[in-house]
Chain A
Amino acid sequence: MLSLKKISVVQFKNYEQKQWLFNQRITAICGPNGSGKTNLLDAIYYLCFTKSYFSRQDAQIVQQGKSGLRVDAIFDKDEKEHELVCIIRENNRKEFWADGEEYKKFSEHIGKFTCVMIAPDDVELITGNSEERRKFIDTILSQCNADYLHWLIDYNKILQQRNSLLKASAENNRLDESLLDTMDEQLSEKGQLIFTARKQFTEELIPAAIQSYQSIAQKDDGININYDSQLLKNNLLELLQINRQRDLYLQRTGFGIHKDDIEILMNQQSFKTIASQGQRKSLLFALKLAEFEILKKQKGFTPILLLDDVFEKLDAERMHNLLHKVCMEESGQVFITDTHAERMEKQLKAIGAEFQLIEL
């Protein structure tokens, strides 16, 4: 069992200095637009992942006009208290501490305190390009398998080097074949490992997502999901060798796990082009809930669930099903935001949940 007891922030986005204590499994966070609801969820996310869910750069989360920030929290994991502290110093040096010890590498922290965020902009996962879906899978896999992140980092470095070599060969009109051979071997070694991990993982993720969709919508809406990879038919080394001339001509690597995607169909047509907004949102929740299920199973404890603005665009029945599922059928801690305190209270009471209300 993982839960957050207390969090305090200093110069974090709109918060100069603020502290919250949480005493219920379900926390409802209410306040008007721009009051800092999403930012509070992001502070929680920040401590789990050492980075913001929304901003790529740490500079954007430091309060405007200030330098440095601090986020610290007390988590409870398996009856033991853990103190996490993140500090960005005035000189922009970032430190991350767990129980009084500073991490040498932030990646060591990943996977120890897990949370799943569901935010409105996440529909990009369904409507955006394939990169979004690879990022989704990679984030989960990195938390479950410490090697995976290293494979991915290595793969991307080799890929960059290979693309540079292709470019340099075109410019100099001369190719060092044996160097390209070497890189092909290095790339396929990592690519093959990543492929196997993704394949295994999606075999678990996809059925879980379809099942979650059904429990939110009470029907499957004809949805079909597949892991799509060039490596399903051929191993990467062969693909690279067969397509070498093409790669040399285009000066970039056309085959590999960087082209993977999750294909989503609705009645055999592309889901993103025909699904309604509510259906898209239902599928988004279904994918995120599948993530939640898998992390729970892999980690042996329930991740913290961060639900931002989930009340928009779902009909009353789907909303009720979703809330019931995450608040009542699951036993983990849930943070949920809404602009209307009454709407939220009504919904939570309807499912019979006990909760703490924080008004911003």
Chain B
Amino acid sequence: MQLPSSLLENAVAQFSKLPGIGKKSALRLVLHLLKQDVNDVQHFGETIARMRRDIKFCQRCNNISDGDICSICANSFRKQNMICVVETIRDVIAIESTQQYNGTYHVLGGIISPLDGIGPDQLNIESLINRIEKEQTEELIFALSPNIQGDTTIYYIQKKITHFNCRVTTIARGIAFGGELEYADEMTLARSLANRLPVQQYVK
């Protein structure tokens, strides 16, 4: 693509680094911004830069947060002794939007998959185990992808906490086989949260 300005070209290059954005869409977005008021675009850029710079990760659950502790962890109306274990922040958002869950979260940052070079050390597993011990967590709910790696992660963590007095459950697999949590619609997700299964039963 031949562009008449290097400023334009740089902007297009930046946009096309985003997931799902090709050169053509990038150009469309940039040309759109070009039509906007200079101040509006300034505001747009600053919002994004500030988001990246100022955002924090909750020291307790690794959720995104404005302060050291996220708004979910800080909310005393939520059941503090219940932890829902998820892979990413996107899963927190998906479950929150069902309005069916009233406990806290723990964001692992992924699932165990040696094939992809991800072992337990790369994930927030140790901090989870410490947290269960310190907070005397009563129930741990796994909401991980329903696949082999998800299973491995659940069993692995379960093995590490057998000596604590913590009930382990997993959300029912109403979610499409092989589908990611993110793609489950809110209804299925809400139903899965209601029908939790103890892990032993789920292992078969």
For residue B159, which residue of chain A has the nearest CB?
A: A178
Known: A161-B152, A186-B152. A181 touches B159 (CB 8 A): yes
- B115 / chain A contacts, CB cutoff of 8 Å: 160-161, 164
Measured CA separation A157–B113 after assembly (Å):
10
Q: Is the CB of A182 within 8 A of B119?
A: no
Q: From residue 31 to 83 of chain B, which have CB atoms closer than 8 A to chain A? A: none
Known: A165-B114, A179-B120. A158 touches B155 (CB 8 A): no
B34 → chain A, closest Cβ, in Å? 32
- A185 / chain B contacts, CB cutoff of 8 Å: 155
Q: From residue 111 to 152 of chain B, which have CB atoms closer than 8 A to chain A? A: 112-115, 117, 119-121, 147-149, 151-152
Q: Is the CB of A179 within 8 A of B156?
A: yes
Known: A161-B148, A164-B114. A176 touches B155 (CB 8 A): no
Q: Is the CB of A182 within 8 A of B114?
A: no
Taking the complex as formed, is B160 at the interface, i.e. its CB lies under 8 A from any CB of chain A? yes
A185 → chain B, closest Cβ, in Å? 7
Q: Is the CB of B117 within 8 A of A183?
A: no
Q: From residue 136 to 177 of chain A, which have CB atoms closer than 8 A to chain B? A: 154, 157-158, 160-162, 164-165, 167-168, 176
B33 → chain A, closest Cβ, in Å? 31
- B112 / chain A contacts, CB cutoff of 8 Å: 179
- A178 / chain B contacts, CB cutoff of 8 Å: 156, 159-160
- A179 / chain B contacts, CB cutoff of 8 Å: 112, 119-120, 152, 156
Q: Is the CB of B149 within 8 A of A182?
A: no
Q: How many residues of A contact B (CB 8 A)?
A: 19
Q: Is the CB of A161 within 8 A of B155?
A: no
Q: How many residues of B contact A (CB 8 A)?
A: 19
A237 → chain B, closest Cβ, in Å? 14
Contact of B159 among A158, A161, A182 (CB under 8 A): A182
Query: How many residue-residue contacts, CB under 8 A, span A and B?
Result: 45
Measured CA separation A164–B117 after assembly (Å):
8
Measured CA separation A185–B158 after assembly (Å):
13
- B159 / chain A contacts, CB cutoff of 8 Å: 178, 181-182
Main secondary structure of the interface of B (DSSP, over half): helix
Measured CA separation A162–B121 after assembly (Å):
16
Q: Is the CB of B119 within 8 A of A186?
A: no
- A168 / chain B contacts, CB cutoff of 8 Å: 114, 117, 119
Known: A161-B113, A164-B115. A186 touches B148 (CB 8 A): yes
- B147 / chain A contacts, CB cutoff of 8 Å: 157
Q: Is the CB of A186 within 8 A of B151?
A: yes
- B151 / chain A contacts, CB cutoff of 8 Å: 186
Q: Is the CB of B148 within 8 A of A176?
A: no
For residue A190, which residue of chain B has the nearest CB?
A: B148
- A160 / chain B contacts, CB cutoff of 8 Å: 115
Measured CA separation A164–B149 after assembly (Å):
13
B141 → chain A, closest Cβ, in Å? 19
A47 → chain B, closest Cβ, in Å? 25
Contact of A182 among B121, B152, B204 (CB under 8 A): B152
Measured CA separation A162–B149 after assembly (Å):
11
Q: Is the CB of A182 within 8 A of B148?
A: no
Q: Is the CB of B119 within 8 A of A154?
A: no
Measured CA separation A179–B160 after assembly (Å):
10
Most buried by B among A176, A181, A182, A183: A182
Q: Is the CB of A182 within 8 A of B117?
A: no
Measured CA separation A186–B203 after assembly (Å):
9
Q: Is the CB of A182 within 8 A of B156?
A: yes
For residue A156, which residue of chain B has the nearest CB?
A: B148
- A158 / chain B contacts, CB cutoff of 8 Å: 148, 152
- B119 / chain A contacts, CB cutoff of 8 Å: 165, 168, 176, 179
- B152 / chain A contacts, CB cutoff of 8 Å: 158, 161, 179, 182-183, 186
A107 → chain B, closest Cβ, in Å? 10
A153 → chain B, closest Cβ, in Å? 9
Measured CA separation A179–B112 after assembly (Å):
9
Q: Is the CB of B113 within 8 A of A182?
A: no
A308 → chain B, closest Cβ, in Å? 35
A-B pairs, 9 with minimum CB distance: A164-B114, A165-B114, A164-B115, A157-B148, A182-B155, A182-B156, A168-B114, A161-B114, A178-B159
List, sorted by A's number, 17 A–B pairs whose CB atoms are closer than 8 Å: A154-B148, A161-B115, A161-B152, A165-B119, A176-B119, A176-B120, A176-B121, A178-B156, A178-B160, A179-B156, A181-B159, A182-B156, A182-B159, A183-B152, A185-B155, A186-B152, A189-B203
**A residues apposed to B, CB below 8 Å:** 154, 157-158, 160-162, 164-165, 167-168, 176, 178-179, 181-183, 185-186, 189
